[in-house]
Structure 1
């Protein structure tokens, strides 16, 4: 498959690296001819986008172009103004427990311990106490915070709070994880560590991921494909050469794609 040619928005061969044995546990999210935004103030129009089960789709674009609007629409928080939005072929009409939304702000409850924060969505869903406690404990261990489970959020760093937010989202076993610049407030070293952690903890979940970012290098490291937003719509969706490979930063195909993305952003 060529990595330098454009992929027509709306087509999405499942990435081989994530499809084997896990893709069936993710979910397919499709926008067809969609106009997105609020009544009287559309942000995106004519959107055709097919997010394959189990893939990581990163989304980049200039400030104010509608990246967060796209994500909130996929989460079910905003209804399309026109066109269709489906999940696995069925109309998507609102939020659901199998789609987790992660913001840049960690949104942890300050009076609850890290473990209790991770348990909260499970408790709301009626998961028995012993099970939710076990799942919270296991996920905090996976993100490297098992020893801090009894701490309150203000006692840990910003990067650690984002780890808790990730654990809280994945403990609920979502089929899709929608991430709105979750690492944008972190320093470069912590951000790189969180990227690696995200790759590690997603392994084996099969979850579909849509990840919005301003950082082109982050988009090209994490994404199987990258969607470029510009001029009120999806300008292109491109395959990423050697995704999640730290050694690929000087790969000629990756460098060519990086130049194309930066050009599309006007930088």
Structure 2
């Protein structure tokens, strides 16, 4: 990406949410259940990447954590309290940007603030600050169809974070991007999350992306957890420990 990303003063970071699954069986109310039960704790402020073959339940896991889909068995909690539905402090980011085409870029970023009842002047200010942070300060009045795929994903990221969520649930958000733009978005995400305090659960099919972004990696459907030796360190891509982890993840697929 050629845009320069700046970081204006931001509000103090919130504490990330602790997300936990206790003996959870993932599935849909129609009775289609995924095998096994998950026991998982995502620590406050952690970046947990999730990998696994198609159909193993990665998106279902995110929807369950978001409160959009109740577990078929077991319990889901945030900070020890049961998750019984969607909450404003848990934001979802999708592979396809899901921007509202009838709203300008600024208005899309303002949306979670408007839902919370933030006054117009404050939400406009916050939206413009977030657009500056993702390198789109000059694009506030544009429409989504006037942006590239990478730019739309940056708008979606700004919209998700503008509401200052304590947990961000990301479903292959960079999967449709070319390799160069994808790398730029990974670096942008790393820079921005560094100051938010948010907990992140990041689903991806890309093993290198999982190894680079995560503090830990969750392998589905087994629920096995692997520690990442050098989280978000580009210089450690070819380190022996990183290469060994990459082989372990590939062997699990």
Please state which band the TM-score falls in when normalised by the shorter chain.
Answer: over 0.9
Q: 2: CA distance between counterparts of 1:80 and 1:118?
A: 31
**Structure 2 residues without counterparts, runs of 5 or longer:** 1-11
The alpha-carbon distance between structure 1 residues 125 and 242, as it changes in their structure 2 partners (threshold 3 A), is same
Secondary structure class of the residue paired with 2:220? strand
Quote how far apart the aligned CAs of 1:83 are. 0.7
Output aligned runs, 1:94-243, within 5 Å.
94-230=85-221, 233-234=222-223, 236-243=224-231
TM-score under structure 1 length normalisation? 0.88
Q: How many residues align?
A: 241
Quote how far apart the aligned CAs of 1:65 are. 0.5
Partner residue in 2 for 1:253: 241
Q: 1: CA distance between counterparts of 2:49 and 2:88?
A: 22
Secondary structure class of the residue paired with 1:38? coil
Kindly indicate whether residue 72 of structure 2 is the aligned counterpart of residue 84 of structure 1.
no
Q: Which has the higher strand share?
A: 1
Shifted more, 90-99 versus 24-33: the winner is 24-33
Q: 1: CA distance between counterparts of 2:49 and 2:120?
A: 35
Q: Do the aligned residues in 2 keep the contact of 1:176 with 1:208 (CA within 8 Å)?
A: yes
Secondary structure class of the residue paired with 2:237? helix
Q: 2: CA distance between counterparts of 1:43 and 1:169?
A: 29
Q: Do the aligned residues in 2 keep the contact of 1:37 with 1:44 (CA within 8 Å)?
A: no
Q: 1: CA distance between counterparts of 2:61 and 2:206?
A: 17
Q: 2: CA distance between counterparts of 1:64 and 1:80?
A: 17
**Structure 1 residues without counterparts, runs of 5 or longer:** 1-20
1:128-180 per-residue CA deviation (whole Å, 9 max, x = no partner) reads 11110010000000000001111111111000000000000000000000000
Q: 1:34 aligns with which of 24, 28, 33?
A: 24
Secondary structure class of the residue paired with 2:36? strand
Secondary structure class of the residue paired with 1:32? strand
Quote how far apart the aligned CAs of 1:44 are. 4.5
Q: 1:244 aligns with which of 223, 232, 235?
A: 232
Q: 1: CA distance between counterparts of 2:197 and 2:114?
A: 23
